[in-house]
Structure 1
Amino acid sequence: MSSFQEGVERDVSINIEFAPIVFYDGQDILVRKNSEVRSLNDLNGKVICVETETTSQENLEDEKKERNLTFQIRQLQDKRDVYRLYEAGECQAVTSDISQLATNLKLLENPDEHIILPEILSKEPLAPAVIDSDLQWVEIVRWIVFALIEAEELGINQNNLEQKKASTNPKIIRFLGLKGTADSIGSRLGLEPDYAQRIIRHVGNYGEIYERNLGPNSSTPIERGLNNLWNNPEQPGLIYSPPFR
């Protein structure tokens, strides 16, 4: 199992099946704060470094043609070379997924001297991908992802799991497999009836995983934005699970 940017070419040309999207990413641009570059249009006549044979390269070429811009695209096989040349001043910008830019930004010599622009060049939905010849495994991966999301929506986390097992809420009873083995969701997937409990106990819900890896106190903070739950009262996102029934 791996995680890929989901798109039609990969969906129809490779023998894989995409599980639910776990992270809504987007392509962006990294520049120096003192460069006065605030959009892709400001990079006319300059050099942008990008990892070759990636969707980032393809999207950048599309934007260049669509906007009739004149920047130079420097393609590099090794991601380390992309940021090495950027720091050396041979590239005035780097483009990649926001998650990749944020991860590599903190590895630069002076991270505070650089900025990721608020200009999204493309949609980059990331999802686990599994071999399509094992349909049971496809379903298991799909409903494990949905279980992480449903747990957050139901307010179930690592800290209150045992307390929630005493709930009289039928949604929680069904989700946690508390009714027995005969008709449990886990059993229909070929798993234990309490499979959702086991997941939450070990890794928490979707929100907890996000906070650990990308939250404000993580080493790579990225605002949840589109990765909020669909019913978030302050900033609704695109993350939701089908009903567990």
Structure 2
Amino acid sequence: MPSLSALTAFDDNYIWVLTSDEGGAVIVDPGDAAPVLAAAQQGLKPAAVLLTHHHDDHIGGVAGLLEKWPDLPVIAADDERITTATHKVADGEVFEAAGMTFKAIFVPGHTRTHVAFHRQAPGGELFSGDTLFSLGCGRLFEGTPAQMLASLETLAALPDDTPICCGHEYTQSNAAFALAVEPGNAALQARAAEVRTLRAGGHSTLPVSLATERATNPFLRVDVPEVAQSVDTWLQATAADRIDTFAGLRRWKDGFRA
């Protein structure tokens, strides 16, 4: 059974590390080489790198890793801004890395070429980058609300027990917004309390199961009447459709301060 861990970088980034039974590790979104190099001093053996999108806090450390491991495979979407990629995946492509099998799932919205990686095994992890966060989703830098909603719904269709491994520790601030949107959600109230306890103890809030996210994340719940009504109240208008509801929800979050 592969083992999962996370290295911290910058203020709130996670560099996910999935180590195979044979000892080779897949490194996801190394925005900074230093934490990976330090872990290598303690026995980490990088075997492949997966990149979800081109932002520097996700890819900035790759050059440093290639200096030490020049033959390290670097797997990403076809994006001219990711110059270190050695293998460019297509949507739905299934590939092997460090003896483990992954599926590339294109999820445009945060960026136009964002890709998530899902390990193909029972309970296989989803590395969602900056598309799906716990209790939130990424900002729309290059995509449309319709694209992001479709991307999130693609991820939400994965099995309930899928562990969500996203790119940032944003859960506590996301919880404050989610509670403003859907205050009557008991599952959300319980998750928010759990998150407060974890963060007070200096612990990560991740990974989290997809089932929990479907029950608590407002961006996966635009069809829930309380969510839609809250968005309409914020808009001071009635959303034209579920995409309009999602767009309003994202705009609300963009300006939200707890």
Does TM, scored on the shorter chain, surpass 0.5?
no
Structure with the greater relative contact order (CA < 8 A, sep ≥ 6): 1 or 2?
1
TM-score (norm 1): 0.30
Name the structure with the higher strand share: 2
Please give the TM-score of this superposition, normalised by the length of structure 2.
Answer: 0.29
| Higher fraction of helix | 1
